[in-house]
Amino acid sequence: MNDVMTREHFFKGLAKHKRIASIKDPRHIEIALKHRDELSGVFLLMGHIGVAKGYVNVFREHALPVFMHLEKIGGLSTDHYGLDYLAKSIRPVGIISTKTSVIKTAKKMGLLTVQRFFLVDSEGLENIAKSLSQAEPDIIELMPARIPDMIRRVKSFTEVPIITGGLLYEHSHAQECLDQGATAISASRPELWRRKII
């Protein structure tokens, strides 16, 4: 599957399945692969530079788009050279980062970008608007997901697809986020990866 098809595949899956497996434990890789026809993609939040390519290849072989959370992958530099190596050698569909400068550089490398924001106060909401104008990520992820009314507020000033995750424990939590305008949810709990939540 070439990179253009993978990008298109991800956005089609995002609209259809509305959920992403956040992988924090290697034991969850097999579970994600088992549910690949019900997932939009995978957020890889573990590992190090020595195993990252192997993980990405497994998901690519199963046509499951994978994004690497750069702050969670050990040994990978987020400077120009590190991102160039990531784009050309490891070849995920995209990256996740909280850093505006990393998002800008990754976009230049042809990677899809997810900028993660933590909403802890009203200043965080203002920072989202500012960062969006500077970095122009392809997707934003709002954390934690248990503040669904903030999804509606962010949706009011951007057309960028919103994924939300963090502190999701029940199917009803996920549905509430989707009802408030989230494009999809990301969850590390495998029981929330099933089609049942929609």
Cβ neighbours, 10 Å, residue 38: 19
Strands 66-69 vs 139-143: parallel, antiparallel or unpaired: unpaired
Share of the chain above pLDDT 90, in %: 68
∠ CA(40), CA(43), CA(45), 5° rounding? 165
Average model confidence (pLDDT) across the chain: 90
pLDDT band at 198 (very low <50, low <70, confident <90, very high): very low
Instruction: Give residue 84's pLDDT band: very low, low, confident or very high (50, 70, 90).
Output: very high
Residue 120: predicted pLDDT: 77
State both tokens at 195.
């089609």
Q: What stretch of H or E contains 129?
A: helix 122-135
- Whether residue 50 is predicted with pLDDT greater than 90 in this model: the reply is yes
Q: Is the pLDDT assigned to residue 3 strictly greater than 70?
A: no
**149: three-class secondary structure by DSSP:** helix
Q: Tell me the per-residue pLDDT of 98-131, one tens digit each, with 9 for 90 and over.
A: 999 999 999 999 999 999 999 877 777 888 888 8
Token pair, residue 102, equals 């990393």
